[in-house]
Amino acid sequence: MRRLDGPAPYEPVWQAMKSFTESRDADTPDEIWLVEHQPVYTLGQAGKPEHLLNTGAIEVVRSNRGGQVTYHGPGQVVVYPLVDLRRKGIYVKEYVALIEDVVLGTLVSYGLEQACRKPGAPGVYVPLPDGSLAKIAALGVKITQGRAYHGLALNVDMDLHPFDGINPCGYAGMSTVDLKTMGVATTVQDAGDRLLKRLLAHFP
């Protein structure tokens, strides 16, 4: 496990993940990286520029992960599992479900038992009082020769206003919340530790 000093710029971390993944061999141990990023919007491989509404002074990076557009910033824990899925016999859909399960388990540990998936929209959501769902964790991965990188982002205690500048994950009007909004007082480090504990149960 590597806990990167932060808030860290996005692009150098992405390039380091990419280099690690492309240079690893069949015996390279898996790693899990935890980081907070400096403010940045990232567009996935299928990301459409029209989902960038008002980015202001925040940097926009086109990334090679899956998914549409999201925001990273201080107060959000980002977890990058660098895992050889082929070696573990895990298929991509299983891996995505596994990561969502890790987030769901973490949210339950904070008392958010109603956290859920949303069909057709990867990530993890929580219900609001009006019955709608708000996104609390985003997911985007890249698989190269059976090896995964990129990962997940859980909103902990952050400025949520930058999400108003995009259609989060390509969905117009989607609400975005953090743990603090949901009444959970915790830190990025504690949330990262809880996510890490559950990931390590799957990827010892």
Beta-sheet pairing, 2-3 with 31-35: parallel
- Does 68 carry a binding-site annotation? yes
With left for phi above 0 and alpha for psi between -120 and 50, is residue 75 left, alpha or beta? left
- Does 70 carry a binding-site annotation? yes
Give, to the nearest 10 degrees, the angle between helix 188-202 and helix 92-109.
130
- Does 148 carry a binding-site annotation? no
Return the DSSP state at 37.
B
- Does 152 carry a binding-site annotation? yes
Q: Is 116 a catalytic residue?
A: no
- Does 123 carry a binding-site annotation? no
- Does 66 carry a binding-site annotation? yes
Hunting for tokens 């925001």 — which residue is that? Answer: 71
Catalytic residue among 169, 179, 191, 196: 169
- Does 87 carry a binding-site annotation? no
CB-CB contact of 78 with 153 (8 Å): yes
Catalytic residues: 169
Annotated binding site: which residue ranges? 65-72, 138-140, 151-153
Annotated binding site for substrate: which residue ranges? 65-72, 138-140, 151-153
